[in-house]
Amino acid sequence: MTIQTTNIDAPRHNWRRVTRHPAFMEYRRLAFLVALVNAAVFITGLQSGRWFDGQSFALNAIADMALINLSMGILIRQQRVVNALFWLATRIPTSWPLWMRWGAGKVFHFGGLHSGGTVAGTIWFGFLLVAMVMNRVNGSTVPSDLTIGASTAMVLLMTLMVISALGPIRAKFHNTFEGIHRFVGWTVLALFWVQTVSITRDMGHNLTESPAFWMLCLITLSIASPWLTMKRVNVEITKPSNHVVIAKFDYGDTPFAGSSNSISHTPFGQYHAFANIPTPGESGYRLAISRAGDWTGDFINNPPEHVWVKGITTSGVARIEELFTKVVYVGTGSGIGPILPHLLKGKVPNRLIWSTRSPRATYGDAIVDEIESHTESPVIWDTDAQGKPDLSTLALQAVRESGAEAVIVISNQKLTRKVVHDMESLGIPAYGAIWDS
């Protein structure tokens, strides 16, 4: 392939360079929308006296807003909800206008509702706590000390969760973030039950007649469901190199292309999600696990005979290929894992650009042979022999040569954002992970 280096540089000052910048990605737009709606509701409530009637705070109304936001933030990340969102988005036929399919393909940015809802819910719970204390200061006997105590602990722990989830902190202390989200999250859920039962008793209401009770039941089931499906399974490890292993599973689950499963060494240890590689006509699936940290390094150095699998098979970014007549896949290193099942399935015509060091020596002949036999004119770029390529230029050239409608990028964060931004600046739909988990 002849590389033309001027294609990407020419239109750098068009308006899409700004509107499609990662700082304005759909994830952040959704989070901002949640904040805007909550601000409007709060201001309207202040003007109408909904939150404070001049004598006391309306605890029920404030609690409803806290519950609505927190419920949205939690339920939108539930695996069955995620699969339903992807299913709905990919029902759009390829005959529809490209701009509509472009937008539908951004379905995986739903995490903006998660972050926006949980942050807003935390703020509303803080407001509720202040309202409770003020009512008590003004002479009310409601709520009880137990309700205020549980609410205080909830707000403090939820604030800790929000702080730990901030981008720079989460990236630097990711294992700590995961631990806080899991164990502190469970503690908050338990305190939420204590608060709900206590405040219902304070008000003299019947627990089962409270909408908050039933919503809390739904939230609890949502959080518990992945753990209820947890299972210990056999794994067969093939080690083509010291950089990567291929883990093969066959325990009765054959996932769909564009999905992932989470695995761990122990039932309540660190879970890591990897893209499933099902092979058409065969049961089970494979995972490509490359060395990218302590957990994966230990997995490669000490291949296990069994692992734990949690939750259900969940849709991932690449599933949105179904919205387009033809796509270009751009992958680096083990990013070939999420791409390979789509090549094998062959449902959507595609072109592939895969940049990696010594592909056959690192990933094995079998993987490379599968790639070469299941896609049209793949560009397999050996970085050891050829250096690092300009992936944006290669992607653009592949789009123009093949007539592809979209680009799907599976790489590290920096490269993914660059290629997606470059493509969308040129009016080409492009997609890649947004690192929101």
- The model's pLDDT over 381-401, given as tens digits with 9 standing for 90+, comes to 999 999 999 999 999 999 999
Confidence at 336, pLDDT banded by 50, 70, 90: very high
pLDDT band with cut points at 50, 70 and 90 for residue 437: low
318-432 CATH: 3.40.50.80
Region for residue 42 given its phi and psi (left: phi exceeds 0; alpha: psi -120 to 50; beta: otherwise): alpha
Query: Judging by beta carbons within 10 Å of its beta carbon (0-12, 13-18, 19+), is residue 287 exposed, middle or buried?
Result: buried
pLDDT score for 1: 43
Question: CA of 78: how far to CAs of 228, 314, 374, in Å?
Answer: 13, 10, 33
**At residue 3, does pLDDT exceed 50?**
no
CB 370 within 8 A of CB 395: no
Confidence of residue 170 (pLDDT cuts 50, 70, 90): confident
Q: What is the pLDDT of residue 6?
A: 39
Beta strand pairing status for 272-275 and 259-264? antiparallel
Q: Can you give the pLDDT at residue 432?
A: 95
Per-residue pLDDT at 14: 78
Q: What are the contacts of 360-367 at 24+ separation with CB within 8 A?
A: 361/240, 361/241, 362/240, 362/241, 362/243, 362/244, 363/240, 363/241, 363/244, 363/288, 363/336, 364/238, 364/240, 364/241, 364/246, 367/240, 367/246, 367/288, 367/336, 367/340
Residue 9 has what pLDDT?
55
The predicted structure's pLDDT at residue 10: 47
- Tens of pLDDT, residues 74-117: 999 999 999 999 999 999 999 999 999 999 999 999 999 999 99
Residue 8 is predicted with a pLDDT of 60
Residue 2 has pLDDT above 70, yes or no: no
Question: Residue 167 has what pLDDT?
Answer: 84
pLDDT higher than threshold 70 for residue 37: yes
pTM (two decimals): 0.91
Q: What is the mean pLDDT of the chain?
A: 92
CATH no., domain 231-315: 2.40.30.10
Are the CB atoms for 161 and 169 separated by under 8 Å? Answer: no
pLDDT digits (tens, 9 = 90+) for 282-305: 999 999 999 988 899 999 999 999
Q: Are 283 and 52 in contact (CB under 8 A)?
A: no
Q: Tell me the pLDDT band of 11, cut-offs 50, 70 and 90.
A: low
Question: pLDDT at residue 325 above 70?
Answer: yes
Cα–Cα distance, 404 to 163 (Å, whole number): 41
Mean pLDDT for the stretch of residues 204-211: 87
State residue 13's pLDDT score: 60
Average pLDDT of the residues in 238-253: 94
